[in-house]
């Protein structure tokens, strides 16, 4: 049989494969570029939120100080500029929700800036609501990041499927044409095609498992370098996807500054543990922890020193917690720890030990504070002894914390102590 049709068919397939590969590279490059841009937008949103939170804190703590007002004005103008930038980037990357939100919030920022310039009352600003809305926007951006990465993954997977399909067509066609005259030379190709067919039938659903199966079943000495390159690409791609997913998961559940769990992760675990305690008649305890006179420390030493204290406190809390406990940053200088299957006595003992350790731990310039040291106050509450659900459990632990601050600081108060004395605590902590 003439080899001319085989050669011409091979050349045609080669051009199709080259054209498809070039198209894939361009298309995949555009998808990857968008995925990287969405990832960058997601990270920049955290900086936007940090600046917005800083403005909220400045408006709450020192709204009448000229230097603070000047810094607030600069930060608001920075947010206005960045919101315009976000609108442009969101429009280019098909993120209409983000663009719409940034556009609508510009009016709020302009009004706030006008109120400050005209020295109007700014106590009723909408920044806390903006922060809550921004959390939803950040969550949606995180979803967009995952979808964009999944899109890249799906396109690459489809490309590999097409490549394998084309290779199969070429191998099977060539084998069918040559087998009658060159059986012994075609046999290795026939065996390769058979292995590929068997492998395709046994591929697991997980892409990672697929790569492991390919590494295990395809031996380099028996197959071409092209197949080996495809195998290595599958393995590398799988490892990159796993690494990105791990980093994305950490962004979802960890507080960036302290490396403790964030409030969302803490609340999710608290709801589940309270439901499980109710079902199996168990106890769940939580503690709310606040750094005493932290505002005074920040004012005296600056926010950089304050951040160092937060990180050091978080490290001590993390080390003293058990494996099953959930330590989290609740907000500002306030921390929370969830103690599953733990009664109030045991939880109080753990928090007392933590308070003593922090009390003797040296901190930068703490001698300048009243009492000469940085300390913590804590409130403890236990389900079902002190609360009927997860929400009231947090509230009652917070009331106990306020009582600890109100009665001298540097102490641990359990909510049952308030109940026994018939006390109710409300107000602001400092």
Query: Would you name the residues annotated as active-site residues?
Result: 333
Polymer length in residues for the chain: 430
Here the tokens at position 225 are: 């370098």
Q: Is 177 left (phi over 0), alpha (psi -120 to 50) or beta?
A: alpha
Q: Where would I find the H helices in 93-126?
A: 96-117
Contact of 115 with 121, CB cutoff 8 Å: yes
- 102: Cβ contacts below 8 Å, ≥ 6 apart: 83, 84, 86, 87, 90
- Burial track 253-292 (b if 16+ CB lie within 10 A, e otherwise): ebbeebebbbbebbbebbeebbeebeeeebbbbbbbbbbb
Reported in sequence order, the residue ranges of 76-182 that DSSP labels E, i.e. its strands, are: none
Q: Distance between CA atoms of 223 and 213, rounded to whole angstroms?
A: 15
Please report the sign of the dihedral spanned by the C-alpha atoms of residue 72, residue 78, residue 80, residue 82.
negative
- Answer whether 393's CB lies under 8 Å from 284's CB: yes
> From CA 358, how far away is CA 264, in angstroms rounded?
26
């Amino acid at each position: 049989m003439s080899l001319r049709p085989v050669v011409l068919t091979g050349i045609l397939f080669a051009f199709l494969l080259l054209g498809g590969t070039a198209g894939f590279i361009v298309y995949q490059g555009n998808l990857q570029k968008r995925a990287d841009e969405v990832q960058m937008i997601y990270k920049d949103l955290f900086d936007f939120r940090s600046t917005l939170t800083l403005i909220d804190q400045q408006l709450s703590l020192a709204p009448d100080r000229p230097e603070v007002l000047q810094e607030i004005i600069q930060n608001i103008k920075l947010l206005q500029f960045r919101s315009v930038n976000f609108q442009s980037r969101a429009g280019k990357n098909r993120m209409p929700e983000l663009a719409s939100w940034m556009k609508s919030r510009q009016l709020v920022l302009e009004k706030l800036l006008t109120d400050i310039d005209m020295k109007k009352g700014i106590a009723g600003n909408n920044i806390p609501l903006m922060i809550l809305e921004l959390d939803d926007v950040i969550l949606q951006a995180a979803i967009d990041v995952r979808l964009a990465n999944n899109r890249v993954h799906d396109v690459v997977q489809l490309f590999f499927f097409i490549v394998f399909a084309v290779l199969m067509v070429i191998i099977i066609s060539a084998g069918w044409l040559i087998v009658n005259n060159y059986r012994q030379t075609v046999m290795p190709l026939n065996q390769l095609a058979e292995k590929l067919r068997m492998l395709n039938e046994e591929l697991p659903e997980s892409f990672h498992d697929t790569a492991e199966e390919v590494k295990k079943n395809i031996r380099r000495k028996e197959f071409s370098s092209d197949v080996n390159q495809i195998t290595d690409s599958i393995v590398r791609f799988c490892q990159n996807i796993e690494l990105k997913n791990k980093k994305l998961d950490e962004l979802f559940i960890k507080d960036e500054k302290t490396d403790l769990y964030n409030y969302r992760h803490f609340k999710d675990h608290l709801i589940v543990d309270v439901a499980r305690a109710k079902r199996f008649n168990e106890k769940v305890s939580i503690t709310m922890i606040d750094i005493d006179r932290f505002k005074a420390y920040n004012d005296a030493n600056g926010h950089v020193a304050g951040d160092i204290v937060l990180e050091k406190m978080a490290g001590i809390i993390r080390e003293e917690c058990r494996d099953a406990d959930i330590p989290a940053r609740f907000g500002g200088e306030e921390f929370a720890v969830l103690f599953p299957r733990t009664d109030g006595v045991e939880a109080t003992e753990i928090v007392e030990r933590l308070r003593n350790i922090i009390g003797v731990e040296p901190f930068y310039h703490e001698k300048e504070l009243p009492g000469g040291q940085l300390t913590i106050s804590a409130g403890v509450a236990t389900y079902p002894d002190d609360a009927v659900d997860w929400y009231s459990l947090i509230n009652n632990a917070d009331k106990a914390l306020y009582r600890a601050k109100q009665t001298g600081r540097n102490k641990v108060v359990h909510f049952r102590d308030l109940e026994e004395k018939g006390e109710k605590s409300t107000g602001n902590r400092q």
